[in-house]
Amino acid sequence: MLSRELIDSLFPADLPEPAYWEERYPPRGLPDGALVTRFAPSPTGWLHIGGIFAASINVALARQSGGVYVLRVEDTDQARFHEGALAQFEAGFDYFGIEADESDLGGVTRGRYGPYTQSARASVYQSYVRELLRTGKAYPCFETPEQARARTARQQATGALPGYYGEWALWRDAPEEQVRERLDAGDSYVVRFRSPGAGRRVSFTDAIRGELSADDNRNDIVILKSSANALRLPTYHLAHAVDDHLMRITLVLRAEEWISSVPLHHQLFDALGFGRIQYAHIAPLMKQDGGSRRKLSKRKDPEASVGFYIEQGFPPEAVRYYLRGLANGRLAELPLPEALAAPIRLADFGTAGPLLDMVKLDDISADFVSTLTGDEIVDRVLPWAGGYDPDLAKTLSAERPLALRALSIERGEGVANPRKDLRKWADFRPVYGYFFPEIFVPVTDPSDERFGGLSPDLVRALAAGFADGYQPPSASPEAAWFDQIRALAAALGFAPNQKTYKKDPDAYSGSIADASAVIRVLITGTRRSPDLAAICAALGADEVVTRARAVLG
């Protein structure tokens, strides 16, 4: 064992003892059953949608049990730190309404267990590393990265298990003189954990998966990164043990890729003298890729990034509802408000990774939007457009009454079967844009394919006839308004209905549906729209006639 004097010389003289931290971060004294949870992302870019998934579960678990939800930033990897990631985290959490009880986000520390950013807690970890060194449960290791690579290569070549253990662990029991020599030479070192693992099997309980077992860890993993770094930070494993213990977390819910590390983490907690914490490992969100499925990847899949949902303007309620249903299948069968209010149960989690189904999300989203009033929709589209479609934002705020008229067609109060044509705010322009003269692009070419292949002459005749004799919808029923199109179509040789047309296609110019499609395209620029009479009422007679004439040149 290395001398106390040598070990202490490795750290600042004023570095606190572990007892200091224990006192500074006392047990929370919460009632039994109150869960203290956390979500701990790394600031390496946009938050992954899986992060929102995990964060929402953590908040729900904390809130429903009367506990606390902590947001911790794990920035121990300085090389991968991404400028702006923190702001994007904030934007993401904000969008989805996920608010931490304790965090550093926004530049303000809320909570008395902070700081909640690992790079700001370097001395906390160091106190514990020094303690581990003093008690011989850790040791300095001077193996260089090149040597480590060579070691791994040799292990692979000989079929040995990779890692730093047994005969490969050259610095595990190095004599003090040797250590001192390298230190004097100014060589950098890392600190490794002296694993007590003896190659036995261990078993443990996962809150979601139940009883699990594995080979015990016997690898002397690195716990404190190279002394060559200006800021000496720990690796994930040590940081996890120290932070989750000191922040008095009671449930560590994380992705299943960490299951393999549980034996190691137990060793670490034991060596540190910490009580073990309950783990719950959730399956990652997956993506279909050819014949197989893989983890959703931020690099390859746009829908993996939280930014995607914000840019597209998916209502957060819909996304949260969908995600909640993925967490607990039972909740997917409940109506949205009930599902969002119902408790999440760890035991109800599936253990296989679900595929993210964007079609299903669209369906949920369309359902949700159909329950909103026109005012609510405008209030949501406006801020979205402010960021992603400035022209639309301008138009919308100038023409709010028109927008409300547009959004009252076949939706809103008293409508038994509301339209479900809006899934996300980016849909607004393609679906409702034609209501606004400022952003509407008239159809001027009579042979435009949107007219369905009708002859240009017929298109012009329809347009002229409609414009010339145009009767705006009055108090009269919509059916009566449509009569003018019927009459016009009949005069131009269109069949009065589909059935008649189908019986003898050659006898007609087309069916009433074809004629009406032309009017529709003239007025809206698209073959898909709500009731024509209602649209024309919203637009006003002048605009309708102008649009109809656009194709006459």
Query: Judged by CB, which is closer to RNA: 3, or 144?
Result: 144
Query: Judged by CB, which is closer to RNA: 178, or 351?
Result: 351
Q: How far is CA 445 from the centre of its chain?
A: 44
Q: How far is CA 17 from the centre of its chain?
A: 40
Query: Judged by CB, which is closer to RNA: 99, or 256?
Result: 256
Q: What is the DSSP string of 337-383?
A: HHHHHSPP-GGGB-SSPPBP-HHHHHHHHHHHHTTS-HHHHHHHHHH
Beta partners for 205?
A: 211
Q: How far is the CB of 208 from RNA (least distance, A)?
A: 9
Q: How far is the CB of 258 from RNA (least distance, A)?
A: 7
Query: Judged by CB, which is closer to RNA: 14, or 474?
Result: 474
CB atoms within 10 A of CB 13: 6
Distances (CA, A) of 256 to 53, 162, 285: 14, 22, 11
Query: Judged by CB, which is closer to RNA: 303, or 531?
Result: 531
Q: How far is the CB of 431 from RNA (least distance, A)?
A: 9
Q: How far is the CB of 334 from RNA (least distance, A)?
A: 11
Q: Are the CB atoms for 493 and 499 separated by under 8 Å?
A: no
Query: Judged by CB, which is closer to RNA: 222, or 336?
Result: 222
Read off the DSSP letter of residue 222.
Answer: E
Query: Judged by CB, which is closer to RNA: 156, or 397?
Result: 156
The residues, any chain, with a CB within 8 Å of residue 126's CB and separated by 6 or more, are 11, 12, 15, 224, 232
In angstroms, how far apart are the furthest CA atoms of the chain? 107
- Residue with tokens 């791994």, as numbered in its chain: 152
Q: How far is the CB of 186 from RNA (least distance, A)?
A: 14
Between CA 23 and CA 26 the distance in angstroms is 5
CB atoms within 10 A of CB 386: 14
Q: How far is the CB of 480 from RNA (least distance, A)?
A: 11
Query: Judged by CB, which is closer to RNA: 360, or 394?
Result: 360
Between CA 339 and CA 83 the distance in angstroms is 36
Q: How far is the CB of 517 from RNA (least distance, A)?
A: 5
Query: Judged by CB, which is closer to RNA: 22, or 470?
Result: 470
Q: How far is the CB of 25 from RNA (least distance, A)?
A: 20
Which 3-state string (H, E, C) describes 292-323? EEEECCCCCCHHHEHHHHHHHCCCHHHHHHHH
Q: Are strands 222-224 and 210-215 parallel, antiparallel or unpaired?
A: unpaired
Q: How far is the CB of 342 from RNA (least distance, A)?
A: 15
Q: How far is the CB of 279 from RNA (least distance, A)?
A: 12
Distances (CA, A) of 431 to 277, 397, 422, 436, 470: 51, 17, 8, 11, 25
Query: Judged by CB, which is closer to RNA: 14, or 83?
Result: 83
Closest to 72 measured CA to CA, from 297, 253, 263, 227: 253
Q: How far is CA 548 from the centre of its chain?
A: 45
Strand, coil or helix: what is 197?
A: coil
Q: How far is the CB of 19 from RNA (least distance, A)?
A: 26
Query: Judged by CB, which is closer to RNA: 28, or 119?
Result: 119
